[in-house]
Amino acid sequence: MRECATIPMDDWLRQRAVELALAMALGVAFAVIGPFSTDESPFLAALGYWAGLLACWFLAASLVELPLRGLRAYREGGVWRRRALVACAASLPMLLVTAPATSALSGFEATVDELLDMYWKIALVGLGVLILADGILKPPAAPAVAPRVTDGEWSPLPQISAPRAAPDALSITSEEAPASVALWSPLTDRLPANLRGPIVCLEMEDHYVRVHTTRGSALVLMRLGDAMKETAPTVGVQSHRSWWVAADSVEGFERAGRAGRLRLANGLVAPVSQRHLRSIEAAFGAPGRLEG
């Protein structure tokens, strides 16, 4: 329920409305193509079947995604792993909708084998629809911005591509930074008033970014790249495709094989992917051990 409470309701409803429109459009395409023998049914019946199922699919996927966000495998996974987990989970409740709808359309008779086969069809088609929706509904990716010096201070690092820039870029400490750097950024204006404080880290959760501050966390509907740009003037670094951390919030760094972990001031542990490992090592020095 914590996840539900931190999602802005207006943003959630807006996202569902956009997905409903996409479900209607895809329903027309599916009715014309007629997969799984639905071309044998009248066009309007097939249209209602596909549009209705796709609308239910988007709703089911958005609901099962909430508890999945509590799983580390989901939070740290790439888009394919996240979408596969959502598709597998959402396909179970969708059986309760798809089986009766298919029976009404074509006289489908449910057996254990038929239901198992239907489950995997729902999961595969649903996975493809989610990936397609990501490409259609998500805004363009924010371009990578190289660090630059302005009036003697470094701007924030939306993405580090070479380790040589990291040590200087992360040399500003919280003691050296002015109060406005530590307490305010454009991103904090998007947060509820009681959560506005120094930013600790950003965590991507599909269409949302979870903004962790010293006062708690909240979800904001935007891309991670755009959120990183709005952390200015807070100095930070991207450690993973799904994570950004404020430099002065890092309390420990541990290497684990080809990846690593960062212990943050609020108790969270941010993953370090292989792609960003050299930059993190250059920024924070030789890795040590994280207790716990």
> What pLDDT does residue 146 have?
36
Do both 180 and 272 map to the same domain?
Answer: yes
Do both 241 and 156 map to the same domain?
Answer: yes
Compute the distance between CA of residue 198 and CA of residue 180 in angstroms, rounded to an integer: 10
Cα→Cα distances 34→26, 28, 29, 182, 257, Å: 12, 10, 8, 57, 48
Residue 144 lies in a domain: no
Residue 89 lies in a domain: yes
Do both 26 and 72 map to the same domain?
Answer: yes
Quick check: helix, strand or coil at residue 281? helix
Which structural domain, as residue segments, surrounds residue 102?
Answer: 2-137
Number of domains in the chain: 2
Residue 254 lies in a domain: yes
Quick check: helix, strand or coil at residue 30? helix
Closest to 15 measured CA to CA, from 133, 132, 191: 133
Residue 289 lies in a domain: no
Task: Using the 3D structure, point to which of 99, 117, 137 is the last residue of a domain.
Answer: 137
Strand 199-205 to 243-246 pairing: antiparallel
Do both 215 and 91 map to the same domain?
Answer: no
Compute the distance between CA of residue 12 and CA of residue 116 in angstroms, rounded to an integer: 32
> What pLDDT does residue 285 have?
67
Share of the chain above pLDDT 70, in %: 76
> What pLDDT does residue 144 have?
39
* pTM of the shown model: 0.54
Task: Using the 3D structure, point to which of 116, 137, 158 is the last residue of a domain.
Answer: 137
Task: Using the 3D structure, point to which of 137, 171, 195 is the last residue of a domain.
Answer: 137
Do both 8 and 132 map to the same domain?
Answer: yes
Do both 108 and 169 map to the same domain?
Answer: no
Residue 213 lies in a domain: yes
> What pLDDT does residue 7 have?
52
CB-based contacts of 88: which residues, under 8 Å, 6+ apart?
123
Residue 228 lies in a domain: yes
Residue 292 lies in a domain: no
Which residues in the chain land under pLDDT 70?
1-12, 75-77, 138-183, 285-292
Do both 257 and 207 map to the same domain?
Answer: yes
Compute the distance between CA of residue 3 and CA of residue 263 in angstroms, rounded to an integer: 23
Residue 143 lies in a domain: no
> What pLDDT does residue 208 have?
86
> What pLDDT does residue 223 have?
87
